[in-house]
Amino acid sequence: MGLANPIGALALVAVAVLVALTLHQRRRRARRVSSLLLWRQLPTAPAERRRFRPDLLFFLQLAMLLALIGGYVRPYLASSTPPASGTALVVVLDCSASMQAREADGTRFELARDKVRAVIAAQAQGTRIMLVSAAERPHVVLRWSDDAARVASALDALAPLDTPTRLEPAVELALGAASRSNGATVLIATDLPPAPQVRRGPVRWIQVGGTADNVAITALTVDSPPFGDGRDRRVLALVQNFGATPRTTTITATIDDAPWTQRTLELPARGTEQVLFDGPRGSGVVRVRITPDDALPVDDEAVAWLPPPHPLDLVLVTDADAMATAFSSLVAALPDARLEVVNAAGWRERGGASTGQVALFDHVAPDGSGPALFVAPPPGDPICRGARRLDGAAAIDWDDTHPIVQGLDALEALEVGDVTQLGRPSWARVVIDAASQRATFPLLTAGERDGHRQACLGAALPVPLTSSDALPLLMVALGALRWASADTAETPLTVETGVPLLVTGEPSALLVDRVGVRRVALGDGRERLVLANLFDATESDIGRDGDGDWPALAPPRLIAATAAPHEFGWWLYAVGAALLAVEWAVGARR
């Protein structure tokens, strides 16, 4: 038995306090009488007066106090368990994308798995084995088992994924499991070199792989200006050569499997090339591929979504004629764009936007459904939760992964004059944060409300809209309008393997471990097209120094008797609570 918090014993001082309080209270409990005239003539009881005579209430209070102090010092019982027989081995097998790299004798994963099999075969009979796969997160494939057949079967079932490597959590998990098992060692099979801090433990490290022959597409972005005619859409690919020798490669792009364009690239050793594809003739899934194949094919192809041209069909709800005129000029410059201007009263009579239309509410925030952008909503509106007007603010931070502001570098210079301090409504997330002299607050929030995309922009749009000062804000507004008017059901989700993406519904995150194009049923019941890529230059940089085997430097931890402390402080707290109830009942009777 021991104490997890021995310093807590200082609380025993409270017992002395209780005694003092009891004595004090007893003096205070002297019964008031009109006069001591008669009582004084009776003999005094000196023993009664001086001796400390605790009553039942005192004992109950003392017991309650001791129980609480007992709980506070967190006593525990160390129960002994018999030492485990035989030895144990925790196997961590790297299953990340780089393990798909082809070497002369096979893939790195196959080589590593063969070495693991050999190590397992060399273990003594009865050795317990735990199998952990390591990719972007650890996964316990097999818990402790001394059944060789089960271990072999679990090992055979493993396959490398298309995700980046995060080996540290898996190693930590293995070391933790080994520390709780008698004489357990850890075997790590990966293509990464041994980590010095891990080598101090009972860890054997096996490294496989040596080739650096890899050319990868490490980024693929689509630049589609809002409400353009489609001709100014561009696709930019970043191609990197991770090899030590120059490479000549061909890059081809298709749109929905229809050929689009092809280039030949001369890549220097460990060089990078940006490839720009413009003038697409259609819309759909853009697939960019480099040939010939190299040692790691998983990063030779990338996919992206090329949205179709989407003309602006805008309902402007404003009471300002200048704003209506400014938007008329703007819409006239956009291809196939349509504009309808109504004032707030007219909007209420109208009752909402037509199908396909997106509404822009200027300085008003009526509770209408449909895709909408609320610009400079009045303070106190229930949708955007505007708090108050401020004289000026500047953008200080933004979510550059959000489609509204993706690719907008001009936000760094975004300063606004008349601005509403927005709140953080539960239906939206913050896209741009701004700061004034007095507060930091959301400048742009966006989310899905009543099944429609809606956004709130705290800053008022300056007139004329096309002045150079107003341009960043106009781009934000147009981006928000495009995002709000997009058909969410038809727009694919673009993800990176191993990186969770927040989605609506339950489960609220989407995690993909294979590259390519597939349809996925999301939590809200809808099926969406998902485009997954491995855009990880570290993972694609597969060059290694060759195979290696580093034996464990520290011996396995032998535990004669495992002490499994069992704290029972909470029971003492429960006893204290029960005693409190009893003490209260006894005290109430008096």
Contacts to another protein by CB under 8 A: 26-27, 29-46, 48-49
Phi, psi values for residue 335, rounded to 5°: -70, 135
CB of 49 to another protein, least distance (A): 4
Nearest distance, CB of residue 26 and another protein, angstroms: 8
Choice between 37 and 560, CB closer to another protein: 37
Q: How far is CA 329 from CA 336, 388, 431, 444, 463, in A?
A: 13, 31, 28, 25, 11
Nearer to another protein, 46 or 259 (CB): 46
For residue 419, with 0-12 CB atoms within 10 Å meaning exposed, 13-18 middle and 19 or more buried, which class applies?
buried
Structure tokens at 132: 């952990």
Q: Is 33 or 124 the residue whose CB approaches another protein more closely? A: 33
Which residues, at least 6 apart from 169, have a Cβ–Cβ distance to it below 8 Å? 134, 137, 138
Q: Please tell me the total number of residues recorded for the chain in this structure.
A: 590
Give the nearer residue to another protein in terms of CB position, either 43 or 196: 43
- Bridge partners of 493, per DSSP, are 530
Q: How many Å apart are CA 413 and CA 409, to the nearest integer?
A: 9
Closest CA to 279 of 230, 325, 226: 230
**Nearest distance from residue 571's CB to another protein, in Å?**
37
Report the residue number, 40 or 519, with the smaller CB distance to another protein: 40
In angstroms, rounded to a whole number, what is the distance separating the alpha carbons of residues 537 and 535?
Answer: 6
Give the nearer residue to another protein in terms of CB position, either 55 or 487.
55
Give whichever of 32 and 519 is closer to another protein, judged by the CB atom: 32
What burial letters (b/e) apply to 364-378, b meaning 16+ CB within 10 Å?
bbeebebbbbbbbbe
Q: Would you say 1 or 45 has its CB closer to another protein? A: 45
Task: Return all residues near 573 (Cβ < 8 A) that are at least 6 apart.
Answer: 67, 68, 71
Q: Which helix (H) or strand (E) holds 285?
A: strand 284-291
* Shortest Cβ 51–another protein spacing (Å): 11
Show the DSSP H helices in 245-377 as ranges: 321-333, 344-350
Sign of the torsion formed by the C-alpha atoms of 427, 429, 433 and 438: positive
CA dihedral 140, 142, 143, 148 (to 10 degrees): -150
SS3 111: helix
Is the CA virtual torsion 172, 173, 176, 178 positive or negative?
negative
Query: Shortest gap between Cβ of 27 and another protein (angstroms)?
Result: 7
Is the CB of 46 or the CB of 196 nearer to another protein?
A: 46
Which of residues 16 and 47 has its CB atom nearest to another protein in the complex? Answer: 47
